[in-house]
């Protein structure tokens, strides 16, 4: 299986690149942000609770997202692999994911980290907020909170995957096709 963790701060382009990668490598896209927004839209009890945290730019509890991911993995048997987008976001999530995949006889193949400077992220997110109407993309202090959550809780995962020899840093600026080509080169050379 090809199991990719597509990593990076909010606004790094994970969603855009995931769309291209799932087509190129026939993978299933698992975005915890998308799944949570689906729960919010459906007004499920989970969605109602999660929305309070999402609106403040804070992370939802680890056990909630880990449970959601396991359900999605189990409902997609026999696939080529998964792209994990926006997950894991904490060391506890990464450890839970490793254990979960090991139980299923699988593992993470590599982590691809899209690197984009904070000023560019803020610009991109405000722009996306105008186009998508996403509430957490429309307020600069919420955006700052999300970037801060990323820097304090999520960025340390680079070390976690480095220690496993799975970390790859990719420049997340340039055209969408340039970035996709950098990602593809790393994937092709790592799976050889």
Number of residues that bind ligand AMP (CB under 6 A): 17
The stretch among 81-89, 114-122, 156-164, 183-191 that binds ligand AMP (CB under 6 A) is 81-89
- Is 73 among the residues that bind ligand AMP (CB under 6 A)? no
Of the listed pieces 21-29, 54-62, 101-109, 120-128, which binds ligand AMP according to CB under 6 A?
54-62
Stretch near ligand AMP under the rule CB under 6 A, chosen from 70-78, 82-90, 99-107, 122-130: 82-90
Using CB under 6 A as the binding rule, the residues of this chain from 117 to 156 that contact ligand AMP are 136, 146
Q: Which residues 10-39 are close enough to bind ligand AMP by CB under 6 A?
A: 10, 32-33, 36
Select 98 or 190, whichever has its Cβ closest to ligand AMP: 98
Name which position in 8, 13, 57, 81 contacts ligand AMP (CB under 6 A).
Answer: 57
Minimum Å gap between C-beta 189 and ligand AMP is: 27
Segment interacting with ligand AMP (CB under 6 A) among 18-26, 51-59, 117-125, 157-165: 51-59
Q: Please check whether residue 112 is in contact with residue 34, taking contact to mean a CB–CB distance below 8 angstroms.
A: no
Cβ of residue 67: shortest distance to ligand AMP, in angstroms? Answer: 11
Please choose, from the candidates 54, 44, 58, 76, the residue with its C-alpha nearest in 3D space to the C-alpha of residue 135.
Answer: 54
Question: Which lies closer to ligand AMP via its Cβ, residue 144 or residue 191?
Answer: 144
DSSP secondary structure letters along the chain: ---EEEE-STTSSHHHHHHHHHHHHT-EEEEHHHHHHHHHHTT-HHHHHHHHHHHTTPPPPHHHHHHHHHHHHHTSTT-S-EEEES---SHHHHHHHHHHHHHTT----EEEEEE--HHHHHHHHHHHHHHH--GGGS-HHHHHHHHHHIIIIITTHHHHHHHTT-EEEEE--S-HHHHHHHHHHHHHHHH-
The answer to whether residue 59 forms part of the interface with ligand AMP (CB under 6 A) is yes
Name residues whose C-beta falls within 8 Å of residue 90's C-beta, 6 or more positions apart in sequence. 59, 62, 153, 154, 157
Give the footprint of ligand AMP on this chain (CB under 6 A): 10, 32-33, 36, 53-54, 57-60, 65, 86-87, 89, 93, 136, 146
């Amino acid at each position: 299986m090809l199991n990719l963790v597509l990593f990076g701060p909010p606004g790094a382009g994970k969603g855009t690149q995931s769309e291209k990668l799932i087509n190129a490598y026939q993978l299933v896209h698992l975005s915890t942000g998308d799944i949570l927004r689906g729960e919010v839209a459906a007004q499920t009890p989970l969605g109602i609770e999660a929305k309070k945290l999402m609106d403040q730019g804070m992370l939802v509890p680890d056990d909630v997202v880990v449970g959601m991911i396991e359900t999605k993995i189990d409902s997609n048997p026999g696939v080529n692999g998964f792209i994990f987008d926006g997950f894991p976001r904490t060391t506890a999530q990464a450890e839970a994911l490793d254990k979960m995949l090991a139980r299923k006889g699988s593992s993470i193949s590599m982590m691809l980290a899209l690197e984009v400077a904070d000023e560019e992220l803020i610009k991109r997110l405000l722009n996306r907020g105008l186009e998508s109407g996403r509430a957490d993309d429309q307020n600069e202090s919420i955006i700052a909170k999300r970037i801060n959550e990323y820097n304090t809780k999520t960025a340390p995962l680079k070390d976690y995957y480095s220690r496993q020899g799975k970390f790859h840093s990719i420049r997340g600026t340039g055209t969408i096709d340039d970035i996709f080509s950098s990602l593809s080169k790393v994937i092709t050379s790592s799976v050889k």
